[in-house]
Amino acid sequence: MRGDRDGAGAAGAALAGPRLLAGGPIAAEIRFGLTRDFAAFRERWGYPPTLAVVLVGADAPSAVYLRQILRTCEKVGVHGRLVEMSLDVTPDGLCEEIDMLNDDPGVSGIIVQMPLPAHIPLRTVIDSIDPAKDIDGIHPRNAGLLSLGFDGFLPATAQASVEILKRSGIEISGKRVVVIGRSNVVGKPAALLLMREHGTVTVLHSRTRDLANHTRDAEILIVAAGKPGLVTGEMLSPGVVVVDVGINVVGDKLVGDVDFESARGVVSAITPVPGGVGPLTNALLLSHLLRAATDQAELSPRRAVQSPDRGTTDAGIRMSAQPMPSSPKAAP
């Protein structure tokens, strides 16, 4: 239980209005450095890196996210290639497309937009991506490196949900952190990254009983369930910090997993939707692309690089990869 003094302070902060944790300014700072780094890459190697984004079907939230990625590419000076596939594509057909991207020397990074149609097993896709081009960290090799605390490509959205706290000066170490969602692309990796920052982490999911009982215990709450309005203000303790990862299309609006209006009178800080985790995710993803492109160029400096082919969108991307400990110290 928190002391009366701490509770009163948190309540006072909430009454003063929440602090908005905007990802845009942080992302702009990262893009500024990435623009310079990508220009240096082009000068050294003679070509810009290419990011290939594979989209199966026309999912509305995915379309919004992908447009943001391609705009970010344009800003930092890299190529963004959108590979659109029909909703009825077979698993083998999707894997064949991924194999071609793996073999394309002009493609430095690949992401496959989630969610996939129900008839395509996720395992089939994640096993197909070359781990050296898997800049969103879904291949088993990168996922294993993350779980061991070693250097690999991180799932960018999970990384952004933690990075926005750190760059906003919010202490994670020792805090009671609750994560709603256990997906392999956000919930699980976010929990691992939060433990790396010495948070005391609880993971909630669709089978958790009495969700509100757990959320009220959180000092930091990460919500990545994909359900609009899942968390309301009455489910929160005064002064909690909330990171809303959800992107949902409701009518003509983008909304998060947290009911912002009811939460704003309770929380001390919260990420807006849109404008919170999303912009930072895109900037971090492009920092991963720079790292992948550099590694590939240094391993095969004499390779022939093709110009972007049909369907390619010229886009600029600037990234600054965040350093990760190669041999972290274990914490009790």
Q: Is 126 left (phi over 0), alpha (psi -120 to 50) or beta?
A: alpha
How far from 48 is each of 69, 102, 306, CA to CA, in Å? 16, 17, 11
Same CATH topology for 4-22+155-276 and 26-133+278-314: the answer is yes
Angle, alpha carbons 99-62-247 (nearest 5°): 140
Residue 64: predicted pLDDT: 73
Task: Give the integer Cα–Cα distance in Å for 274 and 60.
Answer: 14
Task: Give the integer Cα–Cα distance in Å for 115 and 61.
Answer: 10
The whole-angstrom distance between residue 89's C-alpha and the CA centroid of its chain comes to 26
What pTM value is reported for the model? 0.84
Tokens 């919260």: give the residue.
Answer: 270
140 C-beta neighbours (distance < 10 Å), count = 12
DSSP conformational letter for 155: P
| CA nearest neighbour of 156 among 30, 3, 301, 11 | 30
SS3 19: strand
DSSP conformational letter for 237: -
Task: Give the integer Cα–Cα distance in Å for 39 and 215.
Answer: 45
Residue 255: predicted pLDDT: 94
At the top level of CATH, the class of 26-133+278-314 is alpha beta
Residue 61: predicted pLDDT: 67
Task: Give the integer Cα–Cα distance in Å for 69 and 282.
Answer: 6
For domain 4-22+155-276, give the CATH superfamily: NAD(P)-binding Rossmann-like Domain (3.40.50.720)
Residue 161: predicted pLDDT: 98
Query: What are 217's two structure tokens?
Result: 């215990």
Q: Count Cα neighbours of 152 within 13 Å in the Cβ-side half-sphere.
A: 22
Residue 63: predicted pLDDT: 72
Per-domain boundaries in the chain = 4-22+155-276, 26-133+278-314
Q: Block means of pLDDT (10 residues each) for the chain, length 332 residues?
A: 47 65 97 97 96 85 79 93 93 96 96 89 91 96 96 96 98 98 95 98 96 97 96 98 94 94 97 95 97 94 46 34 38 41
Residue type at 166? Answer: K
SS3 213: helix
How far from 157 is each of 77, 163, 174, 216, CA to CA, in Å? 22, 10, 23, 24
